[in-house]
Structure formats: C-alpha cells, structure tokens
C-alpha cells in the first residue's frame, strides 16, 4: 500500500506553517527513516498519515484513500502510529488489555486477535508482564507496551516516532528486532529518529527534513554521505561515515561491516 503525498502544506492555528510543500511517494514494504532538527516538521508530517492532522492544502493518499475523507478510526486499519511519548497513548489497567484493544477495535476474529496479541507480546518481550499495569512498568518497558499495542493491529503501515530516544541499549536492540520482523512481513515501516547509527543500521531509505521541506531523500548511503547538506538540519553522519571520509575511502561507508571491508 503506497503513500502518496503531493505538495502538502500544513499551518497550525498559531499561524506557523510547519509543512511547506512536501511531495513524496513511499512504496509498499519500504523501510524509511525520517531525520532532521527539532521542529523540522517530522511529527507534523507523519500525523497526516493516520489523519490526526488534515492538510491545509495538498494531499496525502494512503493506498486509494484520501486521508481528508477518512476518519482517524478508519485510517487506523491501514496506519499504526506509535507516539513518541507512550504516556499519550496508553490508558488500560494492564498490558494485555492495552495490547488487545487495537485489534479488538478493528473487529478481527477472536482467533486472529489472540494470534496477533501473542506475536506482539513475544516480539516486545512482554509475555511475563501481561497482568501488570503499564504505569507500574519502567519507561523503557512502557515504550515496548506502546509498540506492542500498535503492532498487534497488523496494519500494512507502521510509524514509530523517535522510538529509541531515552532507551537503553537492550531496548534499542529490541526495537531494531521488531522493525526487522515487520520488514520480513512486508510491512512499510516509517521511523522518525535522532539516532543516526540506528538509522544507518536499520533503514534503506532516509528522508531529511528541514523547515517543513524535504532537504534530502535517497538511500541511506547517499543521504548520510552528504555531510554539508545534512548540517543544515543539524544532523551529523554516523561516526564511521565521517571517519571513512577522513581516511579518504572512495565509497561512503555507513556501518561497521562496510567500514571493515573498506579498510581491508
């Protein structure tokens, strides 16, 4: 299911024009990272995909649905959105109820709900915490509950807003694992991130936003190699990419594996 965005503009009621003419196509099954300085418009952009925000002008089409013509409830069957702050998302008394809520709401059969919930709990390593109140969990585990409750909805498109911010190493690995599983299932994964190593290791395509516009859009290698342009939106390429440049490597390297190959 493709996402087609054409000349999207969005102005907040305060008069601030957060999106200033964005055109993009994100194809079914793509793994895309969105980077850019604070306030670049990343969250504003993805909130158009599930209808939380409606375009001031231009259009956002999900598959064959024009998002301005569908409710958030309806779009929830196509686009799952994991909020940056789980506390804005979680509301149930226990983890199981929270994770079951989405798929139940979409009207799936009991068997399908059980299967999806089980899988989401396994992927997020929450199987031993199903009876716990999410608010009795640490913020890192609460993040996993937020992930599980969206994954369990089995939408073709999944969006993560800054999933690794404030997370420890173990949780960053868990999140990378979840993204890899979603990729195997052929889902479209769109992730906003400040963690450029995480971006280089897990995403094929990178879109850099700056002041409500697309600054760069291409393969992770092409985009992360453009140090000067990225600096305009306060994004540093991965350490290894910069080191590779200093060592005059012919090709841009973006991860350990490539770095080691180039040095041999």
Residue 234 touches ligand ADP, criterion: CB under 6 A: no
Residue carrying the six token digits 């055109």: 23
Residue 50 touches ligand ADP, criterion: CB under 6 A: no
d(CA 145, CA 151): 10
* Minimum gap (Å) between residue 42 Cβ and ligand ADP: 3
CB of 137 or CB of 214, closer to ligand ADP: 214
Residue 86 touches ligand ADP, criterion: CB under 6 A: no
Pairing, β 205-210 against β 213-219: antiparallel
Stretch that binds Mg ion, among 42-50, 112-120, 136-144, 220-228 (CB under 5 A): 42-50
Question: Quick one: which of 26, 32, 35, 40 contacts ligand ADP (CB under 6 A)?
Answer: 40
- Long-range (24+ apart) CB contacts under 8 A made by 48-53 are 48/5, 48/8, 48/10, 48/19, 49/3, 49/75, 49/79, 49/81, 49/157, 49/159, 49/190, 50/75, 50/76, 50/79, 50/80, 50/81, 50/159, 51/75, 52/81, 53/10
Residue 103 site contact among Mg ion, ligand ADP, none (CB < 5 to 8 Å, cut-off depends on kind): none
* Rounded (5°) CA angle 158-234-24: 40
Residue 43 touches Mg ion, criterion: CB under 5 A: yes
* Minimum gap (Å) between residue 90 Cβ and Mg ion: 19
* Whole-Å CA distances, 244 to 65, 167, 209, 252: 44, 28, 25, 7
Residue 109 touches ligand ADP, criterion: CB under 6 A: no
Show the site string, 2-41: x = touches Mg ion by CB under 5 A, - = not.
----------------------------------------
Stretch that binds ligand ADP, among 11-19, 25-33, 70-78, 232-240 (CB under 6 A): 11-19
Cβ 7 vs Cβ 54: under 8 Å: no
**Interface with Mg ion by CB under 5 A: which residues?**
42-43
**Interface with ligand ADP by CB under 6 A: which residues?**
12, 14, 16, 18, 36, 38-44
């Amino acid at each position: 299911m493709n996402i087609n965005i054409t000349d999207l503009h969005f102005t907040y009621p305060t008069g601030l024009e957060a999106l200033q003419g964005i055109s993009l196509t994100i194809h079914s099954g793509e793994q895309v990272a969105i980077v850019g300085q604070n306030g670049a418009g990343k969250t504003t952009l993805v909130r158009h995909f599930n209808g939380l925000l409606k375009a001031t002008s231009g259009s956002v089409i999900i598959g064959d649905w024009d998002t301005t013509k569908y409710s958030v409830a309806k779009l929830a069957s196509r686009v799952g959105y994991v909020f940056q702050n789980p506390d804005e998302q979680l509301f149930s008394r226990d983890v199981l109820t929270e994770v079951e809520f989405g798929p139940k709401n979409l009207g799936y059969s009991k068997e399908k709900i059980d299967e999806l919930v089980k899988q989401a709990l396994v992927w997020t390593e929450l199987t031993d915490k199903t009876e716990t109140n999410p608010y009795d969990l640490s913020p890192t585990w609460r993040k996993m509950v937020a992930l599980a409750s969206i994954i369990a909805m089995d939408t073709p498109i999944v969006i993560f807003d800054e999933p690794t911010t404030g997370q420890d190493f173990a949780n960053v690995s868990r999140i990378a694992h979840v993204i890899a599983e979603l990729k195997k299932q052929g889902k479209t994964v769109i992730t906003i991130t400040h963690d450029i190593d995480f971006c280089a290791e897990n995403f094929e395509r990178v879109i850099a936003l700056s002041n409500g516009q697309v600054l760069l859009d291409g393969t992770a290698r092409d985009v992360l190699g453009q140090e000067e342009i990225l600096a305009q939106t306060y994004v540093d390429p991965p350490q290894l990419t910069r080191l590779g440049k200093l060592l005059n490597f012919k090709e841009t390297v973006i991860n350990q594996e490539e770095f080691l190959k180039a040095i041999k």
